[in-house]
Chain A
Amino acid sequence: MDEDVLTTLKILIIGESGVGKSSLLLRFTDDTFDPELAATIGVDFKVKTISVDGNKAKLAIWDTAGQERFRTLTPSYYRGAQGVILVYDVTRRDTFVKLDNWLNELETYCTRNDIVNMLVGNKIDKENREVDRNEGLKFARKHSMLFIEASAKTCDGVQCAFEELVEKIIQTPGLWESENQNKGVKLSHREEGHGGGACGGYCSVL
């Protein structure tokens, strides 16, 4: 619709049950959800347009809210994703430990290896922290992920997380360009979007 939208990006939110994935998503997408609408259109993701470095990108963010107990994540969920937000709860170590399983899934389903991953330590507003910031940072570094700590409750870092991710994706033109061409989406190409430039530096980007 928006002619000046550079591209549409598919972003996944994954992580253990109860880490606050949907809260994160909803905080970012301005708390709008209408089941009626969802049923009519038949979409299971939420869309938001975001502007980073003067580039507008439309994000289709996929979430499995409420279904974690079903073993339902399938390749189609992962297919074509350009960015993944891997969430854990800083107050529950088990959610951090299980990150390996999620990486296994990513490795299996995401055929390309230039997908941008971001690790988000959620719920930093809570006091009973079990996972230290440095641990998260280390894990992220080990697996070449962006890292940020956030609180969906206070909205701390939520916007930042998504912006950071998008920025990184846009800086990797091969990632989103080829995807879009494959899908036959017509792009209103501006100048090549790569080298988007300095990141804000407000997050720990690794």
Chain B
Amino acid sequence: MFHCCFPSPQGSGLKKTRSEGCFSCCRNWRRRHRRQPSSSGTRQPQRPAPDTVQELADGFTYAFNRYQTGGHQARKPVQSRSESSSEDILEVLARGPDYTTYRVRVQVHRANDAGQCESECAAELTLNLREACRMRALQEGTLEKMVVSMVPAFPRGKIPHISTFMSIHPAFSRAQLFLDQLFTRCCPLSIRSDAIQVFSTSGNMQPYNDQGDTPQDQLKKAVASVMGAWPDQIQYVGQPLLLPWFTLKQALVQGHLPASHPLGHVLSLWVELEHLEPTEAELEAAPEAPPEPQRAPEPEEGPAQGPVPGPAVPVMEPVSPPSAPGGLGPAPASPSTPGPALQQEPPAPPALIRMPTAEPAPCPAVDHPPAGTTKHLIKEEKRNILSFPPRLVAEQLTVMDAELFKRVLPHQCLDFVWSQRDKPGKEHLAPTVRATITQFNHVATCVITTCLGDPSMRARDRAKVVEHWIKVAKECRALRSFSALHAILSALQSVSVHRLKKTWGKVSRRSSATLNTLCKEDNSRASAQLSEKRPSRFATLLRTLRGTRKRPHKKCVPFLGKFLTDLKMLDTTLEDYLEGNQINLEKKEKEQKVMEKIVLLQEAANMYEIEPEEKFGAWFWALERLSEKESYILSCQLEPRS
């Protein structure tokens, strides 16, 4: 049983609080903690305006403390206007004589240089007894029920749990259903729809001033909310939404966002509601013929409308050419990708608009020169791995990994998407995940191939290469580039390399010791690193939101496999639907948490400032790699099986 809570409009009263929100939260809490909560009925309806932000020792937990006196303002409040925040209680953590600690989800709004942005972060809220959240609990239910109960929350403009909601498969139709409901209830037909253009970035959407909301404003908010959750959540991002009265088009727009913003999420969303007067016919026609006459000039309105600055556009460009040399996996060449209508759109839209297809472009933005041009470089200068200093190799691998990781769309890691990867006709799924894995295996095979070398090499020569890679691994550790580190360590321990006893006999003790240390650490890190990372990443996020951003402490590129395992286990363990076709919110929420972790870590991956180095890139991509089988055979040639 899982409850989602969201704030209901003010004035909904204490009764509601007690009967639904509090009690259900308490029930929830009791179930989890098997402890009796103290009486919560004494809480009074006040807004839980957090006054102080305090970083707790464990980092990821932030307490928003409000003392009974209201005094004590240790730091600048995160939220100055209570209206601009909304919190929803995830669980009751502890109760004291005069306070109750909840884990809540806080929506923080703040102006940034690109306009207003709003983000969602989990936090802990300590409330005193006089405070209460007016909460309504969203129970598990069928899809329709959930939609219907979420819509009324709108007047205040924010739908909590929209991302969880949207992650429900197949989310695309959920969005449609939701907006349908929304328009039916909130939006009179008379609304001037052509005005409705929403700029949003995934996770960050443009909030509107809460005062003086017109129905149009509300609608915008709603659409922004839904759309903001869209790119991350929905596989079929390119499809236009067909609603009774509108066609909702979207396109990804390059926004000008703080440098800290993970590149993968800089892809922004342009939503356009086009009023279709005689809708029906077009609605019918739309699904087949890729609709989108794509009114080219429209996107131009972007900059005027909101924070869609043009200059950033060129930055996007490197993303699209899926010309990752060295075969970066099934890079979906935009034109050929089967799928959503929009993807087949002419790539015409000028300036700002980019087709959503660009979104999954998995190829690394790291500029590897195309294979053709690399060849001569290699010939000119016959290099081997030893000619590149370990630090440089580590840095270059890091930058490649980071670029790919930043582009990973969390929803593509979801097991229902990812596990279909091998099925016929599904090869285009999860391209961003595939790209990451391909890169990982590329690094691993690169290590194996170079270590095995050729039969003319002596064990001593091979040992040198092995030692070199150990140094690289050490540098990767220092750079917190865990994906590359894991790839190198895996490769050094792979069957083909591991069994070369003579070679290992020549590896210096010191190197062996280093390797052992790194391996030991690596084994326990997979999961540990994530919890270790969370605090700082979250702190960074908060600082960003507060505009007091400092130099982030810890950059890192995590190993994606860990997340895939988590998501796979979740998917195998929990059912999508409960009895009576009720959506299993517990599962969705847990999946959502994993995806949020990925997003947080993407920010850490964005902190590297390393320039790609052409020579290494050329060498790396031009290297002819041995397949697993080939390397095993070669290995057996070098040292026959006993």
Q: Which residues in A have some Cβ–Cβ distance to B below 8 Å?
A: 17-18, 22-23, 26, 31-36, 38-44, 64-67, 69-76, 101, 104-105, 108-109
Contact = CB atoms under 8 A, between A and B. Distances in A.
Chain B interface size range: 35 or more
Nearest to A43: B527
8 contacts: A36-B593, A38-B527, A42-B531, A65-B565, A65-B572, A69-B437, A71-B494, A76-B493
B568 A35 contact: no
Given A67-B561, A71-B490, A72-B490, A44 B526 contact: yes
A76 B444 contact: no
Contacts of A35: 566, 569-570, 590, 593-594
Interface string B566-602: 1111101100000000000000001001100000000
B495 interface: yes
B495 A108 contact: yes
B440 A70 contact: yes
A74 B518 CA distance: 13
A165 B487 CA distance: 32
Contacts of A67: 561, 564-565
Contacts of A109: 495, 498
Nearest to B567: A66
Interface string B384-425: 000000000000000000000000000000010011001000
Contacts of A65: 564-565, 568-569, 572
A22 B574 CA distance: 13
Contacts of B499: 108
Contacts of B565: 44, 64-67
Interface string B421-458: 01000000000000001001100110000000000000
Given A65-B568, A71-B490, 15 more contacts: A33-B573, A35-B566, A35-B590, A36-B593, A39-B566, A66-B415, A66-B567, A67-B561, A67-B564, A70-B437, A71-B494, A73-B490, A74-B494, A76-B519, A109-B498
Given A26-B569, A35-B566, A39-B531, A75 B498 contact: yes
Contacts of B419: 18
Residue of B419, B498, B523, B572 most packed against chain A (CB within 10 A): B572
A74 B569 contact: no
A101 B590 CA distance: 35
Given A39-B530, A104-B632, A108-B498, A66 B564 contact: yes
B493 A74 contact: yes
A64 B565 CA distance: 7
Contacts of A76: 493, 519, 523
B211 interface: no
A198 to B, nearest CB: 34
A31 B441 contact: no
A32 B530 contact: no
Nearest to A152: B572
Contacts of A36: 590, 593
Contacts of A75: 493, 498
A39 B519 contact: no
Contacts of B415: 66
Contacts of A104: 495, 632
Nearest to B564: A66
A109 B441 CA distance: 20
A47 B90 CA distance: 28
Nearest to A20: B572
B15 to A, nearest CB: 34
Contacts of A31: 573
Given A39-B530, A76-B523, A22 B568 contact: yes
Contacts of A18: 419, 422
B528 A42 contact: yes
Nearest to A18: B422
Contacts of B590: 34-36
Contact of B569 (A22, A41, A69, A101): A22
Contacts of A43: 527
A71 B593 contact: no
A74 B568 contact: no
B491 interface: yes
A70 B495 CA distance: 14
A200 to B, nearest CB: 27
B572 A22 contact: yes
B486 interface: yes
B219 interface: no
B119 to A, nearest CB: 22
Contacts of B491: 71
A138 B338 CA distance: 43
Interface in B588-642: 590, 593-594, 628, 632
A120 B496 CA distance: 26
Nearest to B493: A74
B39 interface: no
Contacts of A74: 489-490, 493-494, 519
A32 B490 CA distance: 29
B190 interface: no
B548 interface: no
Residue of A33, A44, A66, A109 most packed against chain B (CB within 10 A): A66
Nearest to B566: A35
Closest 8 CB pairs of A and B: A66-B568, A66-B564, A67-B561, A35-B566, A66-B565, A74-B493, A33-B569, A33-B573
A91 B486 CA distance: 33
Contacts of B69: none
B30 to A, nearest CB: 18
A41 B437 CA distance: 26
Given A36-B593, A69-B441, A42 B527 contact: yes
A101 B496 CA distance: 12
Contacts of A32: 573
A65 B567 CA distance: 9
Contacts of A105: 495
Nearest to B526: A44
A76 to B, nearest CB: 5
B524 interface: yes
B573 A26 contact: yes
A108 B497 CA distance: 11
Interface string B543-563: 000000000000000000100
B572 A44 contact: no
